[in-house]
Amino acid sequence: MERVDSGDLHAATAGIWSGYAYSKPEQLGLPFEDVEIQVDGGMAPAWKFTPTAAGPVSSTWAIHAHGMGGKRAGALRGVPVARRLGITSLVVSFRNDGEAPPSNDFRYSLGQGEWLDVEAAINYAVDHGAERLLLFGWSLGGSMALRAANLSAHSDRIIGLVLVAPVLDWAETLTSNGSASGLPKAIARAGLSLLGSNAGRWVTGLKQSIDLSALDWVTRAGDLTTPTLILHGIDDKSTPVAVSERFAELRPDLVQLVRFDVPGHSLEWNGDTEKWESSVTRFLKSLPAD
């Protein structure tokens, strides 16, 4: 045990394992500032890390988006490698994560709506001097990054995607999660039908049904136009690496896949930090210079 970030360790009766190496930005030991980004429904908090004047400073900004059910602290793991290359980092919150304003239905929409908060962060970055953009996406954040690269008004500025255990096909991911929980495939398929049906909204509570085909990046691999690095553990039961492998096979011109021999979901950095950061560094250096 190295530290207790919150709560009383002696009085606690339950806990969960998490890949969060940092729970607060101060723990990185890097200068940062709290900023707010205008999104639908109000202001979303974010952390901005700006390289010091003593080192190289790029006109490239990185937007870091965390995964479902998590907080922006989970994306702090990607900041140091970006900073060493002189890149400004914006670690963002998004609707329904408990920090940003919620959506009207208080439901996740698997990236279908959440990407708009990434777009708001992109607008903030451009308004503050960003000329080129990188999107770091963890799990759900990876799906959001792909959607932003495809739909953003500033898509021409997005030069690269770094996706950590990304959800590339929600149907496959949700079915896999259901199977891991002992849920029969027939019930999982019925649940997917409800998500995509307007009639099923009274069950799901969604204001709008989810178009799973629009979020299936394996089928839509031909729509990818941005160089992409995928970092994925080979024993990920939540988002199977096989989906990332199929995506990379379909677009070898744009997609690089680095596998990690680590168990669990989104734990690639934790299992082999040196490999993770060196892979990201090589990828970022391969992109066109400022």
The residue range of the domain holding 31 is: 25-168+218-286
Q: Do 74 and 66 touch, CB atoms closer than 8 A? A: yes
Say if 199 falls within a structural domain.
no
The CA-based diameter of the chain, rounded to the nearest angstrom, is: 59
Looking at the 3D structure of the chain, how many domains does it have? 1
Say if 78 falls within a structural domain.
yes
Say if 162 falls within a structural domain.
yes
Tokens (6 digits) for 65: 């988006």
Say if 203 falls within a structural domain.
no
Say if 195 falls within a structural domain.
no
Tokens (6 digits) for 163: 């996706």
Q: What is the pLDDT of residue 202?
A: 46
CATH number at residue 244: 3.40.50.1820
Task: Flag whether pLDDT at 31 surpasses 50.
Answer: yes
Q: What is the pLDDT of residue 179?
A: 64
Q: What is the pLDDT of residue 289?
A: 74
Q: Do 246 and 252 touch, CB atoms closer than 8 A? A: no
> Using one digit for the tens of pLDDT, what is the confidence trace for 186-226?
666 666 666 666 655 545 556 677 888 899 999 999 999 99
| Total number of residues shown for the chain | 290
Residue 13 CB contacts under 8 Å (≥ 6 apart), including other chains: none
Q: What is the pLDDT of residue 58?
A: 79
> Using one digit for the tens of pLDDT, what is the confidence trace for 138-185?
999 999 999 999 999 999 999 999 999 999 998 888 777 666 666 666
Question: What angle in degrees, to the nearest 10, is found between the helix axes of 140-151 and 115-127?
Answer: 60
Say if 249 falls within a structural domain.
yes
Count the neighbouring beta carbons within 10 Å of the beta carbon of residue 116.
Answer: 19
- State how far the alpha carbon of 127 is from the alpha carbons of 61, 124, 131, 209, 274, in Å: 12, 5, 10, 33, 34
Q: Considering only CA atoms, which of 49, 37, 50, 34 is closest in space to residue 127?
A: 37
Say if 58 falls within a structural domain.
yes
Say if 231 falls within a structural domain.
yes
| Sheet with 60-65, edge to edge strand ranges | 33-39, 42-49, 88-92, 60-65, 132-138, 158-164, 228-235, 255-263
The reported pTM is 0.91
Residue 145 CB contacts under 8 Å (≥ 6 apart), including other chains: 63, 65, 115, 118, 135, 136, 137, 161, 163, 166
